[in-house]
Amino acid sequence: MAQLLLIEDDERVRSALLRSLRDLNHQVASASDAMSGLRAAVDHRPDLVVLDLGLPDLDGSQMLRMLRGVSDVPVIVATARDDEDEIVRVLGSGADDYVVKPFTAKQLDARIQAVLRRVGGAGPTDATVAVGPLRIDPRGRSAHLDGAALELSPKEFDLLHYLAARVGEVVAKRRLLTDVWDLPFGGADKTVDVHLAWLRRKLGETAQAPRFLHTVRGVGVKLVDPTDGGER
Ligand code: CA
């Protein structure tokens, strides 16, 4: 399915993951330390790197910075440390996602799919989305309302694009946390609420007088075409 590079020094973990990921139809190369991992990332040009943070030769954040110096490849870090600070640090150093050990190959695969979908190049999700007077261009990461550019933060943009691509569909906040924030193990619903509020302000509407963004109490939120009378 995808060309992966697994960088993991624990031989048992590495061979078990190699086997499982191959069973899931991925092509997997592997390395057992940071320096050979860096070399393999350059040589093999993988679609995605799974990086163990506890490597013998380099600290995880150092490794990420070096990797970012040579490649934009998406990275999922595997950490044994269920440590929020460490996770925040590596996400800040350029990791795209993380998994906390122990994890199953299936869980890792779900993360891999999600990251690849998110960073995915050409595909149907790159098409411009038009909802009434709203136009969203995922390639240019720009959005226009009535022809005027909206100044959106990256997350506001992702959220708007995600909802607009599913116009009329009620999306649960939990699903937004999984798909837009990549927090499959949950997070604060408040994160979604806050971003929705910011997005509403930029769209010139309020929760009390919604136009595009309609909250469905206890279920989630949907984006509708305000010019389509039948939609609501
Ligand atoms: Ca390790």
Q: Give 10-residue mean pLDDT values along the chain (232 residues).
A: 90 94 92 94 91 90 87 89 78 86 90 83 63 91 95 94 90 86 74 93 95 90 84 42
Residue-wise burial string across 142-154, b where 16 or more C-beta atoms lie within 10 A, e elsewhere = ebebeeeebebee
Using only C-alpha atoms, the chain has a radius of gyration, in whole angstroms, of 20
What value, to the nearest 5°, has the Cα angle with vertex 144 and ends 120 and 91?
Answer: 40
CA of 186 to the centre of ligand 1 (A): 26
Q: How far is the CA of 33 from the centre of ligand 1 (A)?
A: 9
Q: Would you say the pTM of this structure is higher than 0.85?
A: no
Residue 161 confidence (pLDDT): 95
- CA 30 / ligand 1 centre spacing (Å): 13
Sign (positive or negative) of CA dihedral 193, 141, 154, 121: positive
Decide if 124 contacts 161 (C-beta within 8 A).
no
Residues of the chain with CATH 3.40.50.2300: 3-119
pLDDT value at residue 217: 84
Looking at residue 186, its pLDDT comes to 65
Q: Which parts of 5-59 fold into alpha helices (H)?
A: 11-23, 34-44
Q: How far is the CA of 27 from the centre of ligand 1 (A)?
A: 22
Whether domain 129-228 has CATH 1.10.10.10: yes
163 C-alpha vs ligand 1 centroid, how far in Å? 39
At residue 188, the pLDDT reads 73
Report the distance separating Cα 23 and Cα 227, nearest Å.
48
Distance 34 CA to ligand 1 centre (A): 11
* Closest listed residue to residue 93, CA positions, set 117, 121, 63: 63
Question: What's the CA-to-centroid distance between 54 and ligand 1, angstroms?
Answer: 4
Q: Ligand 1 centre from 19 Cα, in Å?
A: 18
DSSP letter, residue 50: E
Arch. (CATH architecture) of 3-119: 3-Layer(aba) Sandwich (3.40)
Task: Quote the pLDDT of residue 48.
Answer: 95
What the block records as the tokens of 44 is 């093999």
Closest CA to 212 of 154, 130, 125, 139: 130
Ligand 1 center to residue 101 CA distance, Å? 10
